[in-house]
Amino acid sequence: MPSDSYGMFAESRSPRRLSLWARFRLGLARFWHRMITSEWCGNRHVPNDHAAFRWDREGDKYRVAAWANDAFDLYVGWADSWETSIRRPIALRLAFWILWRWVWAEWFGLRRLLFYWDLDRRVRPYLSGSCQSGPGVIGRRRDA
Q: Residue 87: what pLDDT?
A: 94
Q: Residue 131: name the closest of 51, 98, 123 by CA.
A: 123
Rounded-to-integer distance, Cα 111 and Cα 102, Å: 10
Residue 93 has pLDDT above 90, yes or no: yes
Same structural domain for residues 17 and 74? no
Confirm whether 142 is domain-assigned: no
How far is the first Cα of the chain from the last one, in angstroms, to the nearest whole number? 73
Least confident of 43-52, 78-87, 102-111: 43-52
Same structural domain for residues 32 and 67? no
Q: Residue 47: what pLDDT?
A: 77
Confirm whether 71 is domain-assigned: yes
| Three-state secondary structure of 38-101 | EEECCEEECCCCCCEEEEEEECCEEEEEEEECCCCEEEEEECCEEEEEEEHHHHHHHHHHHHHH
Helix, strand or coil for residue 111?
Answer: helix
The dihedral of CA 89, 94, 95, 97: what is its sign? Answer: positive
Same structural domain for residues 58 and 106? yes
Q: What is the pTM of this model?
A: 0.54
Same structural domain for residues 86 and 57? yes
Confirm whether 120 is domain-assigned: yes
Let me know: does 10 contact 30? Beta carbons within 8 Å: no
Q: How confident is the model at residue 129 (pLDDT cuts 50, 70, 90)?
A: low
Same structural domain for residues 18 and 71? no
Confirm whether 24 is domain-assigned: yes
Same structural domain for residues 67 and 12? no
Same structural domain for residues 61 and 109? yes
Greater model confidence, 61 or 86: 86
The domain containing residue 6 runs over which residues? 1-36
Same structural domain for residues 30 and 56? no
pLDDT digits (tens, 9 = 90+) for 1-21: 454 554 555 545 555 678 888
pLDDT digits (tens, 9 = 90+) for 40-81: 777 777 777 778 888 888 888 888 998 888 888 999 998 888
Mean local confidence (pLDDT), 24-40: 85
Same structural domain for residues 30 and 76? no
Average pLDDT taken over every residue of the chain? 79
Same structural domain for residues 57 and 118? yes
Q: Residue 86: what pLDDT?
A: 93
Mean local confidence (pLDDT), 86-97: 93
Same structural domain for residues 61 and 113? yes
Rounded-to-integer distance, Cα 87 and Cα 97, Å: 15
Share of the chain above pLDDT 70, in %: 77
Same structural domain for residues 25 and 69? no
| Count of domains for the chain | 2
